[in-house]
Amino acid sequence: MSKLFDAVDALVASRAPLPPPAERKRLRAAHGLTIDEVATALEVRRATVSGWESGKTEPRPPERDAYARLLDKLAELYPAPADAAVPAPDAAVPATFTGTPAPAEARPLSTGPASEAPVMTETENTQTTPASATAAAPAAAPRPARTARPAPTSRRPGAKKAAPAASAAGEADPRFENGPLAVVDVEDGKVLAYCVGGLVLDVPAKSLPSLVDWTLKEARLGQPKLSGPGRPADPLIVLTAAACERYGLPVTLTEEERHAGRIPEGHKVIKQLTRADWKLTKRGFGPWARIYRPAKGSDRQCVQLCIPSWNALDVRHWGAAGQLPPAELARVLGVYASRVMTPRGSTAVTGLELMTALHPPTYAVRDEETGVLRQADNKNPGSLGKDPIDHKNWPPCEVPDGHPVLKDLPRFHVRGPGEKLFEEAYDWARPLTDDECMRSNLVGLDVNMAFAAGANGLVVGLGEATQVKNPVFDPKLPGSWLVDLSHADLSRVKAGKEWVELDGSLLPSPFTPKGDRPTGPAWYATPTVAYAVELGYDVTPTEAHVRYDSGRYLDGWYQRLRDAYLATMADLGVDADLSPQDFLAAMDGYKSRDPELALVVTAIKATVKGGIGKLRERPRGEGWTAGEPWRALSRPTWRPDIRAAVISRVRMNLHRKMIKHAVFTGQYPVAVNSDCVVYAVDGESPLDFLPYREGKPLPGGFKLGVNPGLVKHEGTQTTLWGEGVREQYQAPELNLARYIKDGIVTNKDTGE
């Protein structure tokens, strides 16, 4: 009889409705269970249970039966309070790290970015992951199991169905039901396409042109547009080395081809594409090739190719992603695509394309005569427009050397601060004082996503600059200002409404990347001059190039990347609302918890830095000579002024924290490199010297946390190590911040 009862219980459990996702979390937490414990008991992955609790996925038999029974038993033990509202099925809760030290309550991992988080206007983002964080991107795809091969273009039995892509209105789009991309590989003589979510398709295409046709007509790959006036993302096909061989492409490029960035125009595969009426962009057939036919109205035919064996996935930005098996690579790229966007090239290119995707240059209007949709003549409000700024109209101070506007300068002329806007990240160090030499350790702090935080809420110019003589400085007006700040003495600065005394010799100047005090008039971006006013210095510009057409162009870009970063870090066990102690514990070895998601984090960070750097792309060979235009100047997103403003704000934000810390603790930095700052202290942890009171940090100072603008522990080395390497290389001001992470000193700063 007991077997019959068990069978009846199982039958009831298989049809019993499950409680809403948030209630599932409440029941688990009420019994003191962690996600890992539930996953182990049900013999599933941690991310699977997290997906059930967030509502992004639903359990399926046989795990569903056991999970329903567990929840039913817990509901008997912990009934919901009578006055408590039943949580909505899509309610989400913030995640937290469940490792040592264990927090009081274990919570599920976040499964996506926040799509409607408020824009922060402070110098750092201190909010936790919003409740909508699980609604914007699907859960990280599980590693698919290998199963028997199905009929062509069908799902493999047992493979999890990929969640349909959501349109801009939040509805499923059947055009992209198989996800944004596929990794094409050859196995046992069959061509297979590995998609996100464990889906595997058979590919009938025998040639590259037919593969492109299959992708557009049958694969159902792509991604919905990120903004109303935008357009959907083109499908991405990743070709493994075996797939390259199958379709007649070289597995690796020759040295000449690597230098050119493409295979020769006469290659047989390019001839095949030409005969099939497919075209390539001006960059040709390289690691990131775009194959298209001219659009007819709204009918767009374009496929993006990615070839990892041609170094498409740069190891500096993607780690070892290029060496992953096809299913795992599809998972990594799929998570990145769902949370950032479908890659359009390198992380730098994708970072720049994301700006355009969120702020399309124009919008579609219907022609009154023909009824056909076409681009509007007016630019989309808040965008940079569809036409680049004429290179002749650029202020000479804002452009890099070799720009056409500088062609009349004498040969070998070196522009000084009074001729050139030089807003760069910090690279400053000083010798240790006698007191600092007695400290036991050097501890480094690194600002999370510093350049993303610098973009948050920043007002930038959207059009051409206007030259103004003897202007009155306006901190709300983006532009470049010629100001003499040589009188700025950091020994006495204004902190709020009061003046404070400091040892200015132990602080870097905020007005130069090397930390030196200015010696005369120099060009500065608006955030730098505004900070000079904040510190109480007299500011009298003699000239300016300002932009009256302005806006917070980078806000959506920041939010998208911030949410992607926070969601992925939450999946790795590092939540946004952890205490300082738990945050440091969670960061310890977080990459080893899921190495594939750790690659996504690396790529997101590279997207931020690369996107900002791409705003001032320099010539890349191609026979360019100084004084002549180069390719990047022909795009609206070539905006060195925006790059300068972001970097300026990053440097000011960091200096503001150093000032706050010095005023409150009397401690001064010994080295600063970009977004990393090093202090000489007694202790090995940031908690040994950061001024926390009852768990609360110094207002405006350094705060531990995962949000952009907050800091993490970069590394600790002994003071003897620091003095030893400086003595070894006879470099008293060797920038120790560059090597604080692992203590390994390279020859970059040593001159050897």
pLDDT at 567 over 60: yes
**In terms of domains, do 201 and 68 share one?**
no
* Residue bearing the bigger pLDDT, 365 or 531: 531
Buried b (16+ CB within 10 A) or exposed e, 685-714: bbeebbebeeeebbebbbbbbbbbbbbbbb
Parallel, antiparallel, or unpaired for β 181-187 and 236-239?
parallel
Buried b (16+ CB within 10 A) or exposed e, 485-518: beebebeebebeeeeeebebebbbbbbbbebeeb
pLDDT at 571 over 70: yes
Phi then psi for 223, rounded to 5 degrees?
-145, 140
pLDDT at 163 over 90: no
Lowest average pLDDT, out of 93-107, 289-303, 601-615, 663-677, goes to 93-107
Give the position of tokens 């130069």.
512
Position 10 scores a pLDDT of 59
Range 82-106 average pLDDT: 39
Domain-embedded: residue 189:
yes
**In terms of domains, do 189 and 53 share one?**
no
Could you tell me how far CA 504 lies from the centroid of its own chain?
35
Specify the 3-state DSSP secondary structure of 51. Answer: helix
**In terms of domains, do 198 and 270 share one?**
yes
Domain-embedded: residue 208:
yes
Q: Which range scores top for mean pLDDT: 151-160, 326-335, 621-630? A: 326-335
Could you tell me how far CA 260 lies from the centroid of its own chain?
28
In the beta sheet, which residues pair with residue 483? 522
End position of a domain, from candidates 74, 91, 108: 91
Lowest average pLDDT, out of 293-297, 368-372, 614-618, goes to 368-372
Length of the chain: 752
Tell me how far apart the terminal alpha carbons of the chain are, to the nearest angstrom: 83
Domain-embedded: residue 318:
yes
Domain-embedded: residue 284:
yes
Range 596-611 average pLDDT: 98
Host H or E run for residue 460: strand 460-461
pLDDT at 127 over 50: no
**In terms of domains, do 411 and 500 share one?**
yes
Domain-embedded: residue 182:
yes
End position of a domain, from candidates 309, 325, 343: 343
Domain count, the chain: 3
Q: Which range scores top for mean pLDDT: 52-56, 99-103, 721-725? A: 721-725
CA 727/CA 720 separation, integer angstroms: 10
Count of alpha carbons within 13 Å of 25, Cβ hemisphere only? 26
Give the position of tokens 């999370």.
448
Position 2 scores a pLDDT of 59
Angle between helices 268-275 and 208-217 (to 10 degrees): 50
CA 504/CA 535 separation, integer angstroms: 13
Specify the 3-state DSSP secondary structure of 307. Answer: coil
| Cβ(173)–Cβ(164) below 8 Å | yes
Position 148 scores a pLDDT of 34
**In terms of domains, do 485 and 547 share one?**
yes
Host H or E run for residue 581: helix 580-587
Position 527 scores a pLDDT of 98
CA 366/CA 374 separation, integer angstroms: 6
Position 667 scores a pLDDT of 97
Parallel, antiparallel, or unpaired for β 288-296 and 279-280?
antiparallel
Instruction: Report CA dihedral (126, 131, 135, 137) to the nearest 10 degrees.
Output: 30
CA 43/CA 334 separation, integer angstroms: 25
pLDDT at 346 over 70: yes
Using 50, 70 and 90 to split pLDDT, how confident is the model at 45?
A: confident
Give the position of tokens 């297979």.
192
- Which residues 6+ apart lie within 8 Å of 747 measured at CB? none
Q: How distant, in Å, are the alpha carbons of 624, 627, 634 from that of 621?
A: 6, 14, 16
> Residue 566 corresponds to which tokens in the numbers above?
């926070």
Q: What angle do CA 572, 578, 580 make, to 5 degrees?
A: 115
| Cβ(317)–Cβ(614) below 8 Å | no
Proportion of the chain in helix, strand, coil states, percent, rounded to 5: 35, 15, 50
CA 376/CA 480 separation, integer angstroms: 32
Phi then psi for 494, rounded to 5 degrees?
-95, 120
Position 109 scores a pLDDT of 32
Range 304-315 average pLDDT: 97
pLDDT at 434 over 80: yes
Angle between helices 526-534 and 640-665 (to 10 degrees): 20
Give the position of tokens 């992380």.
347
Of all residues in the chain, the percent with pLDDT exceeding 70 is 83
- CATH assignment of the domain containing 71: 1.10.260
Amino acid, res. 607: T
- Which residues 6+ apart lie within 8 Å of 584 measured at CB? 685, 686, 687, 704, 713
Range 641-662 average pLDDT: 97
**In terms of domains, do 185 and 52 share one?**
no
- Which residues 6+ apart lie within 8 Å of 745 measured at CB? 725, 729, 734, 739
Amino acid, res. 617: E
Position 90 scores a pLDDT of 36
Domain-embedded: residue 296:
yes
**In terms of domains, do 187 and 287 share one?**
yes
* Residue bearing the bigger pLDDT, 141 or 230: 230
Specify the 3-state DSSP secondary structure of 692. Answer: coil
Of all residues in the chain, the percent with pLDDT exceeding 90 is 66
Parallel, antiparallel, or unpaired for β 288-296 and 200-202?
unpaired
End position of a domain, from candidates 70, 91, 112: 91
- Mapping DSSP onto H, E and C, the string for 624-690 reads CCCCCCCHHHHCCCCCHHHHHHHHHHHHHHHHHHHHHHHHHHCCCCCEEECCEEEEEECCCCHHHCC
CA 333/CA 603 separation, integer angstroms: 10
Mean pLDDT of the chain: 85
CA 482/CA 563 separation, integer angstroms: 37
CA 689/CA 702 separation, integer angstroms: 11
Position 338 scores a pLDDT of 96
Residue 545 CB burial class (10 angstroms; 0-12, 13-18, ≥19) = buried
User: pLDDT per residue over 278-305, tens digit each?
Assistant: 999 988 999 999 999 987 766 789 999 9
Domain-embedded: residue 252:
yes
Parallel, antiparallel, or unpaired for β 236-239 and 299-306?
parallel
Sign, CA dihedral 252-253-258-263, equals negative
**In terms of domains, do 262 and 325 share one?**
yes
CA 436/CA 668 separation, integer angstroms: 10
Lowest average pLDDT, out of 3-12, 160-169, 190-199, 647-656, goes to 160-169
Instruction: Report CA dihedral (385, 390, 394, 398) to the nearest 10 degrees.
Output: 60
Range 332-339 average pLDDT: 97
**In terms of domains, do 237 and 315 share one?**
yes
Could you tell me how far CA 621 lies from the centroid of its own chain?
28
Comparing CA positions, the residue from 302, 311, 298, 446 lying closest to residue 365 is 298
Using 50, 70 and 90 to split pLDDT, how confident is the model at 82?
A: low
Using 50, 70 and 90 to split pLDDT, how confident is the model at 374?
A: low
Residue 610 CB burial class (10 angstroms; 0-12, 13-18, ≥19) = buried
Lowest average pLDDT, out of 131-140, 284-293, 320-329, 604-613, goes to 131-140
Give the position of tokens 């600065």.
493
**In terms of domains, do 296 and 418 share one?**
no
Amino acid, res. 225: K
Domain-embedded: residue 37:
yes
**In terms of domains, do 313 and 411 share one?**
no
CA 129/CA 123 separation, integer angstroms: 18
Buried b (16+ CB within 10 A) or exposed e, 326-342: bbbbbbbbbbbbbbbbb
Host H or E run for residue 306: strand 299-306
CA 711/CA 694 separation, integer angstroms: 19
DSSP letter for 235, please. Answer: P
Domain that holds residue 82: 2-91
Position 698 scores a pLDDT of 87
**In terms of domains, do 396 and 339 share one?**
no
